[in-house]
Amino acid sequence: IYCDVQLRKAGLNGEEIRSGSVLVVKSHKASYSWTNVTVPKYDRKGVPSYGAVILLLRNPYHALVAERNRKKSITSNTKTSHTRTVGPEYFGTNHEWSFFVKTKILKWKTSIESVVLKSPRDLPKLVVRYEDFQRDRVREVSRVLDFLHFPYSRESLSQRLEEDFTTFHRNRHPEFEAFTQAQEQFIDHSLRQTLDSLSARNNGETYGIEEYLRNTAVAS
């Protein structure tokens, strides 16, 4: 949802670095201009641009809360803004939070549609889910590396992923309800719109987004 320069300064390279020094460039843009794209493509300075795209999905309910915590925890300490949580007064009926929910869920929806439905058909694409990485890091990272045609050994990858990666992670979700009923309805409506678009235009592949719905639609 954002591009964090602080993470780059902390040594987590990949935030909008397009010099060719990193394998994957992390981006939070909601939409891209795919007009006259060739694979691979180059920018005006001749620097390799996006030759493939990996779309990382996350449950928007969790992503929205995480981003709200980050924005309201920003200090001069990079680590703090990525590990702190804020209280219930920043959620629920908070006017700023209500606006945040509506704008960010639309950005979440637009990102999926832009990459999956509007990008060139010959642009290699891989869709992965945050929740699947949590369940099996080795399997999902292997999928990404295979997609990138990057050589690795299963053993060394397993050893690397056993290391502690919690430095910039929050430990838990809030114990209070962050969303009002109206906010849930708005998010679920956006999810269903995304599901309908994917079902109709992506050969029925929805990437498990239906699991993110909080309320099951009741037929009238």
- Name the DSSP letter for residue 62: H
Does 28 or 182 have the greater pLDDT score?
182
Q: Mean pLDDT across the chain, nearest whole number?
A: 81
Residue 168 belongs to some domain of the structure? yes
Let me know if residue 176 belongs to a domain: yes
Number of neighbours of residue 154 by Cβ within 10 angstroms: 9
Q: Tell whether 195 is covered by a domain.
A: no
pLDDT in tens, 15-50: 556 666 777 877 777 666 655 444 444 454 444 456
Q: For the segment 49-62, what is each residue's pLDDT rounded down to a tens digit?
A: 568 889 999 999 99
For 110-162, the three-class secondary structure string (H helix, E strand, C coil) is HHHHHHHHCCCCCCCEEEEEHHHHHHCHHHHHHHHHHHCCCCCCHHHHHHHHC
Count CB-CB contacts under 10 A for residue 64. Answer: 23
In a domain, 18, yes or no: yes
Is there a domain that residue 102 lies in?
yes
pLDDT of residue 40: 45
What percentage of the chain reaches a pLDDT higher than 90?
50
In a domain, 92, yes or no: yes
What's the total number of domains in the chain? 1
State residue 122's pLDDT score. Answer: 86
In-domain check, residue 67: yes
- The yes-or-no verdict on residue 103 having pLDDT over 70 is yes
Q: Which residues of 165-177 are buried (b: 16+ CB within 10 A; e: fewer)?
A: eeebebeeebeee
C-alpha 73/C-alpha 71 separation (Å) is: 5
Helix 154-161 vs helix 137-147: crossing angle, to nearest 10: 130
Q: Which domain holds residue 154?
A: 5-180
